[in-house]
Amino acid sequence: MRSVMNAIVVEDLTKRFGNFTAVDHINFTVAQGESFGFLGPNGAGKTTTVRMITGLIKPDAGRASIMGHDVEKDGLNAKQVTGVLPETSNAYIDLSAWQNLMLMGKLYGLEKMVRQSRAEDLLKRFDLYEKRAVAVKGFSKGMKQRLQICMALISEPQVLIMDEPTSGLDVQSSRLIRNIVADLNAKGVTFLLTTHNMEEANQLCSRIAIINRGKVVAIDRPEVLKKRIDSLHSLEVSFDKDVPQGDLLALQGIESVEKMGDKFRLYAEETARAISTLVDYTRSKKVEIVSLATISPTLEDVFVAYTEAG
Amino acid sequence: MMSGSQLSRALAIAEKDIRIYYLKGPVLIYGVLFPMFLFLAFFLGRGMPVDFLISGLLSMTLFFTATAVSPVILPWEGSMRTLERLISAPVSIPAILLGDALASFIFGIIISVVPLAFGLVMGVRVFSPVVLAAAILLSAFCASYLGMLFSTPPTNVPSNIMMITNLVKFPLVFISGVFIPIEQMPPWGRTISLFSPLTYMTDLMRYSIQGNSYHPILLDFAAIAIFTVIFMALAMFIHIRNMPKRL
C-alpha cells in the first residue's frame, strides 16, 4: 500500500527577533488531505510560524517544505501549490473584486479563460458576484474576508494556509467560510489553519497542535487531547432559586465551584458521587434542580491547561 | 535572468500599479506639480532660448515623474497590508520590483510627452528624434530604478520615503545642468555633476533638441546604463534583505 505523502513538513523551525525566540525548534507534519489546526495564545508564535512556512520570512534554523518543495530553496514552486490567507492582509481596496481576482490569477500564471471562469464561480459561491465591479473600499469586513478567500482559492491550491480566517467576522460570514473549508477538505485540499476559535478548530481540524511561547506543547486529534485532561470532569447545574456558592463548595466530593450566569459549574473527581451529594443537598433545602449535565473537557479546557501550564 | 512566466507576472504587477498609483496624491504632487513649478520659478523672465528651456524641462520632468511612482508603491502596500498577499504569491521579488519600476517608467514617458508637445507648439525642432526616443526610454528606466532604490528603507509611511526622495532629487536638479549649463559651472560643480545621472539625461536631451552636448552622447548613454545597473542591483539587494521588515 502506498503511504500518504506529507503535504507540509516542518523540521526544527526556529525564529529569533534579537534575544527573543519567537519560534523555538518546532516540528510537525501535515498529511495530504488533512485539516490541521494550529492553536496558541497571542504572541505564541503562530503567525511567525505561518510566515516561515509560506516563505515570507526566513527561519534562523530548521526547514519547512510544502508538497516536497523546500520553501527557502524552491520557494516559487512551494508558493505555486499553496493558497494563503494571511491574518493581517487586505485585498487592493482601489480595485474591484473582479480586478483583484484577475490580478491573483495572473500572479499564479493562469490562462485568461481559466481565471475568468474560476473568478466567476468563486464570486457566485461566496455571494460576491453582484458586487464584482465595485471597488473593494466599499465592502464590509465580511465581504473583504470572503474576497480574500476567493483570492487564495483562485489557483485551486493543493494546500491552503489560513491565518485566523474568521477572526472578527459576523456569524453568517464565519459559517459560510467554515462550510467551504469543510467542503474543500472533503475534496482533498490540505489545510493548515490558525485560530483562536476553539469551536472552529474542533469542527474543522482532524489534528491540532498547541503552541505556547514558541514551542509545540501538544499535538494530537482533538478528542485524544481532551481525554488527556479528563481529571477536569465537571457538572453544570441550575436551580429554581438562588443557592449560596459556599453551600455547594462545602458538599462532599466537590473540589471547586464556578458561577456562570444562573448556573454553577462544579468540578469533582468522581461525578457520580458528586451528583448523589448534590441531590441530597437539594432535597434537604427543598430546592428543585432545573438542569443537570456532566461536562467533558472542551478543547478550550485543553488549550487553557496546556498554555497555562507552559 | 528572469523567466518568461516571472516576466508576465511583473507585467501584471505593473498593470495593477498603473490602476492604483497614478492618481495618488504624492505621485501627482511630486511627479507633476513640483517639476512644473520649479520650471516656472527658474525659467520665466530669464530670457533663455526656448530650445534650452524645453530640453531642461524635458529631462527634469522625466526625472521627477519616473522617480515619482516607484518609491510610493512598496511603503503604500506595506501600510495598506496588501504586500503580504503579493509576496505570498509565486512571484519573485525581482519580478515585483520590475513590475513597480515598469509602472514608474511608463508614467515618466507619458508625462514627458507634455513638455515635448509644449516645445513643439513653441516652435522647437527636434534635431535627432532617434536619440531623443532612446534617451527618453533609457532615462525613464534608470530613474524608475532610482525610485525603487529610494523606497528601500523599511518604513511603511509613504511620506517618509517621499521626504528622502526629494532630499536627493532637488540637489541633483541644481548640479546636473538643468538650470545652468555644465560648461558655465565652476570646476568643482562640473566634477560633482559627473556623479548625477540627471547630468547625462539632460545632456542627451540637449543633443536631441539643440544638436550639441557637453559629453559625447555615447558616454551619456553608457553612463546612464551603468547608473541603471547599479540602481537595479542595489535596489534588489536591499529590498530582498528588507522585505520581511515591512510585514
Q: What is the pLDDT of residue A112?
A: 96
Alpha helices in chain A (DSSP H): 46-53, 75-80, 97-107, 112-125, 141-153, 171-186, 198-204, 222-228, 245-249, 271-285, 299-309
Q: What is the pLDDT of residue A310?
A: 54
b (16+ CB within 10 A) / e for A283-296: eeeeeeeeebeeee
* Cα A194 to Cα A151: distance, rounded to the nearest angstrom: 18
Q: What is the pLDDT of residue B101?
A: 95
- Using the Cβ of B247 and the Cβ atoms of chain A, whether some distance falls under 8 Å is answered with yes
What is the overall mean pLDDT for chain A?
A: 89
Name the nearest CA neighbour of B66 among B22, B25, B24.
B22
User: Which residue type does B66 have?
Assistant: A
User: What is the chain B residue with the closest CA to A57?
Assistant: B244
Under 8 Å CB-to-CB from A88, ≥6 apart: which residues?
B81, B84
Question: What is the distance in angstroms between the CA of the first residue and the CA of the last residue of chain B?
Answer: 27
SS3 A310: coil
Cα dihedral A93→A96→A100→A105 (10° resolution) = 180
Give the residue, A222 or B139, on which the prediction is more confident: B139
> Residue B88 and residue A148: Cβ atoms within 8 Å?
no
Residues 160..189 of B with a Cβ closer than 8 Å to A: which?
none
> Residue B90 and residue A151: Cβ atoms within 8 Å?
no
What average pLDDT does the segment B227-240 reach? Answer: 96
Residues 72..91 of B with a Cβ closer than 8 Å to A: which?
80-91
Q: What is the pLDDT of residue A3?
A: 54
Strands A159-163 and A82-85: parallel
Residues 9..28 of B with a Cβ closer than 8 Å to A: which?
9, 12-13, 15-16, 19-20
Position B135 pLDDT exceeds 90: yes
Q: Which residues of chain A have a CB within 8 Å of the CB of B5?
A: 109
Q: Find out whether A166 and A195 touch, Cβ atoms under 8 Å.
A: yes
Mutate to test the interface with A, among B76, B82, B88 (most CBs of A within 10 A): B88
Rounded to two decimals, the pTM is 0.84
What's the CA angle centered on A176, arms A173 and A178, to 5 degrees?
A: 110
Q: What is the pLDDT of residue A151?
A: 95
> Residue B85 and residue A89: Cβ atoms within 8 Å?
yes
Name the nearest CA neighbour of A108 among A62, A161, A51, A151.
A151
Q: Which of A142-151, B138-147, B153-162 has the lowest mean pLDDT?
A: B153-162
Model pLDDT for residues B29-62, shown as the tens digit of each residue: 877 888 788 777 777 777 778 888 888 889 999 9
Helices A141-153, A97-107: axis angle to 10 degrees equals 30
User: What is the chain B residue with the closest CA to A155?
Assistant: B89
How is residue A63 written as a grid cell? 526547514
Q: Find out whether B193 and B176 touch, Cβ atoms under 8 Å.
A: yes
φ/ψ bin of A258: left (φ > 0), alpha (ψ from -120 to 50), beta (otherwise): beta
Residue A13's DSSP bridge partners are A26
Q: Find out whether B214 and B181 touch, Cβ atoms under 8 Å.
A: yes
Strands A254-260 and A263-268: antiparallel
* Cα B151 to Cα B161: distance, rounded to the nearest angstrom: 6
Instruction: Tell me A217's DSSP state.
Output: E
> Residue A94 and residue B9: Cβ atoms within 8 Å?
no
Q: Which residues of chain A have a CB within 8 Å of the CB of B247?
A: 51, 56-57
How close A149 gets to chain B, by Cα (Å)? Answer: 11
> Residue B5 and residue A109: Cβ atoms within 8 Å?
yes
What's the CA angle centered on B153, arms B247 and B226, to 5 degrees?
A: 125
Q: What is the pLDDT of residue A2?
A: 47
Position B158 pLDDT exceeds 90: no
How many other CB atoms sit within 10 Å of the CB of residue B191?
A: 11
> Residue B81 and residue A51: Cβ atoms within 8 Å?
no
Cβ contacts below 8 Å, chain A against chain B, sum to 74
**Residue labelled with grid coordinates 519567537:** A22
Q: Which residues of chain B have a CB within 8 Å of the CB of A165?
A: none
Sheet containing strand A207-212, edge to edge, reads A82-85, A159-163, A190-195, A35-39, A207-212, A215-220
Structural domains in chain A?
6-227 (3.40.50.300), 228-309 (3.30.70.980)
Q: Find out whether B16 and A103 touch, Cβ atoms under 8 Å.
A: yes
For chain A, 310 residues long, the average pLDDT of each consecutive 10-residue run is 77 93 94 92 88 93 96 95 86 96 97 97 94 93 90 95 84 84 90 84 88 90 78 82 90 88 87 88 92 81 74
Q: What is the pLDDT of residue A1?
A: 45
> Residue A103 and residue B80: Cβ atoms within 8 Å?
no
**Please, which pLDDT band fits residue B114 given cuts at 50, 70 and 90?**
confident
* Cα A122 to Cα A113: distance, rounded to the nearest angstrom: 14
How is residue B83 written as a grid cell? 504586500
Q: Which of B13, B81, B89 sits opposite A88 (nearest CB)?
A: B81
User: Which residue type does A171 have?
Assistant: V
Q: Which residues of chain B have a CB within 8 Å of the CB of A90?
A: 80-82, 85
> Residue A56 and residue B87: Cβ atoms within 8 Å?
yes
Q: What is the pLDDT of residue A273?
A: 86
Q: Which of A188-192, B62-66, B159-163 has the lowest mean pLDDT?
A: B159-163
Handedness of CA A51, A76, A58, B72 (dihedral sign): negative
* Cα B205 to Cα A105: distance, rounded to the nearest angstrom: 41
**Residue labelled with grid coordinates 509576496:** B87
Position B19 pLDDT exceeds 90: yes
How close A54 gets to chain B, by Cα (Å)? Answer: 7
How close B142 gets to chain A, by Cα (Å)? Answer: 25
Q: Which residues of chain B have a CB within 8 Å of the CB of A94?
A: 19-20
Model pLDDT for residues A243-284, shown as the tens digit of each residue: 999 999 898 888 889 898 889 988 887 888 888 999 999 999
Name the nearest CA neighbour of B245 among B155, B145, B136, B132.
B155
User: What is the chain A residue with the closest CA to B99?
Assistant: A107
**Residue labelled with grid coordinates 527577533:** A17
Mutate to test the interface with B, among A76, A87, A93 (most CBs of B within 10 A): A76
* Cα B10 to Cα B6: distance, rounded to the nearest angstrom: 6
Model pLDDT for residues B77-99, shown as the tens digit of each residue: 998 889 988 999 999 999 999 99
Mutate to test the interface with B, among A23, A74, A107, A115 (most CBs of B within 10 A): A107
Q: Which of B9, B88, B90 sits opposite A56 (nearest CB)?
A: B88
> Residue A95 and residue B84: Cβ atoms within 8 Å?
no
Q: Which residues of chain A have a CB within 8 Å of the CB of B99?
A: none
